[in-house]
Each structure stands twice: as C-alpha cells, then as structure tokens.
Amino acid sequence: MEKILVIGAAGQIGSELTLALRKVYGDANVFATDIKDAPKDVKKSGPFQIMDVMDDKRLIHFVIRYKITQIYLLAAVLSGNAERLPLQAWDINMRSLLNILDLAREVGINKVFWPSSIAVFGTTTPKTDTPQLTIMEPNTVYGISKLAGERWCEYYFNKHHLDVRSIRYPGLISYKTEAGGGTTDYAVEIFYDAIETGSYECFLKPDAALPMMFMPDAIRATIELMEADESKLTVHSGYNLSGISFSPAQLADEIKKIIPDFKITYKPDFRQAIAESWPKSIDDRVARNDWGWNHEYDLEKMSKIMIKEIKKKLDH
C-alpha cells in the first residue's frame, strides 16, 4: 500500500489534491503537512501536521516513521511574491526541492511529484502553442527557479533513477482555496469581486491572454500522470499541459453573460510584464501522447461553476 506525503497541503493545489488522493489511496494513507493551518476538510479527513519543508531533519524522521513511499512537494513562492522577495523565494523554492530529491534518493522513495509552471518560458519563447521543447529563457525569479528545478528533477532521474514527475501548470482556477502571490490570480479574484461588488480592477491589461486551467482538470492530470506507466513517460523535466487560454477581457465577457452589470477596469502593475513574458497558449501533445491527457473544462463551463460555487460559499 502506498503511503503518501503531501507538502503544502493547505495551499491552492494541495488542499484539493490531498482530498482527491485520499479518495484513491485511502484517508489514512495520505499524510497532509503544511507550514500553516489547513482547511477543515483536509484536517478532518485524514492525518495533518504542521511541518516546515525547510526542516530537513524533521522531514526525514517523518518519512521513515510513517514509511512514506510517495511525496508530493507543492510548497512554493509564486511569481508575483517571488519578485517582491527574490532571494528568499529562490531559497525556499530551490532548497525545498533539493531537500526532497535528496531525501527521496537516500530513503528510496518510489515516486516524487513536483509542480513546474508555464513560468519556465520567457520573452524569447514562441508565444502561441508553445512546444514542449523550445527556447527557455525565463526572466522572473519564479521562472528561473522552476527551470532550474526541472533540470534538477531530470538530473536525479538520470543519475539516481529517481522517478520524479512534473507538470508545467498553467494558471489554476479554483473556488475552494485561493492562490496568493501569482500573476494568474486575477482569474480567481475577479469572480469573488464580481459576486461581492459587481466590479473588478484588473492588474493585467485587457488583452493579456494566458494559459489557464480549472482545478478539477489539474487535479485529475496530476493523479493520471503519477499513475501512468513509467515506461510510457518520455519527459522527466516537466510536461506541458494545456486547458483553456483567455485574456482578462474575454473572461469579463464570460462573467457578464451571468452577471450582466459586471464592470471591469484595468490598472496594470508589475505583473503585466511577467504575463507578457509567458506563453499565450500551450502545445501539450507530448502529454496527450505519453499518458493520454485530455482536458474537460472550457471557459464557459468553468465560469458557470465558479459563479455558482462562490455564491454558495459567500452565501449570496
């Protein structure tokens, strides 16, 4: 039986992935940890402990004590926050990954999952249908840390036969846990403001199209990749993954179909330059061929669910 450790279980991906993993592997076999307190359903449905991923001694004790066989490392400082505190973000993003890769090699962990991002690409990368293999010159701290992280994952695979799997996540949209500190966060904030105040001031320009994905697709992709037959996987850095691509103006138009009086205004800040350095859409044919990836949610379907669920949550 697999024993799974989720690091960053209180975050945007972690809080939903932990619950999904518990459905597959059993509640008691998925150990959730985070540096901060987790949502109620994460704490209620199985084991949860406060733990700092930078505390490598405690981590190794934990892994040995609970006979952990798989690790999902989801703790990270996202793009916007990383530009505010570059050296700290670099330290957290890189040291946490290196701690886990080396611990996994030493202890003999079966599989590691680590999230990469579309931030690995930069201004010199082809912007539309960005291929799996292409020019990668990221110019953000977050992007540099994700590209370096991908190289380390592949290095541990080649050198130590460590089975590390990774996805270059697009912007993730969820109604359960908010992200925090990312460039694509506007696409979540906009729904809350549309419902609560009827208007939203966007920190990106109207035409800043970016690759995005609804969280249920991202969770399913993660589990499908982790369950894929190892012999089929040709990428040991990070898989391109595509869901929906849209701009703030297109998202606002979609919201207006359900909330006709919704108004959007634009006040681009430093995150506009980050968005401009990233692809507008992603070619994920390698993921589709290797492990049969297929997304389900489009902009219309996602927006309807987001509005319905956030209204419920806010009691509107």
Q: Using CA atoms, how far apart are residues 299 and 279, in angstroms rounded to an integer?
A: 18
Site residues, ligand AKB (CB under 6 A): 78-79, 117-119, 142, 169, 171, 182-184
Rounded least distance, CB 203 to ligand AKB, Å: 11
Q: Between 74 and 109, whose beta carbon lies closer to ligand AKB?
A: 74
- Supply 243's token pair: 């869901």
Rounded least distance, CB 115 to ligand AKB, Å: 8
Q: Between 9 and 208, whose beta carbon lies closer to ligand AKB?
A: 208
Q: Using CA atoms, how far apart are residues 203 and 75, in angstroms rounded to an integer?
A: 25
CB-nearest residue to ligand AKB: 182
Cα angle 113-116-117, degrees, rounded to a multiple of 5: 150
Q: Are strands 111-117 and 164-169 parallel, antiparallel or unpaired?
A: parallel
Q: Between 99 and 183, whose beta carbon lies closer to ligand AKB?
A: 183
Rounded least distance, CB 117 to ligand AKB, Å: 3
Q: Between 183 and 277, whose beta carbon lies closer to ligand AKB?
A: 183
Rounded least distance, CB 274 to ligand AKB, Å: 8
Q: Between 11 and 39, whose beta carbon lies closer to ligand AKB?
A: 11
One-letter identity of residue 267? K
Decide: residue 259, CB within 10 A, 0-12 exposed, 13-18 middle, 19+ buried. middle
One-letter identity of residue 299? L
Name, in order, each residue with C-beta under 8 angstroms of 73's C-beta and a sequence gap of 6 or more.
7, 8, 53, 96, 97, 100, 112, 113, 114, 115
DSSP 24-62: HH-GGGEEEEESSPPPHHHHHHS-EEE--TT-HHHHHHH
Please say if 142 is a catalytic residue.
Answer: yes
Q: Using CA atoms, how far apart are residues 96 and 79, in angstroms rounded to an integer?
A: 16
Three-class DSSP category at 171: strand
Question: Within 13 Å of residue 65, how many CA atoms lie on the same side as its CB?
Answer: 7
Out of 25, 142, 169, 239, the active site residue is 142
Q: Using CA atoms, how far apart are residues 249 and 265, in angstroms rounded to an integer?
A: 10
Rounded least distance, CB 233 to ligand AKB, Å: 22
Q: Between 70 and 140, whose beta carbon lies closer to ligand AKB?
A: 140
Rounded least distance, CB 168 to ligand AKB, Å: 8
Catalytic residues: 142
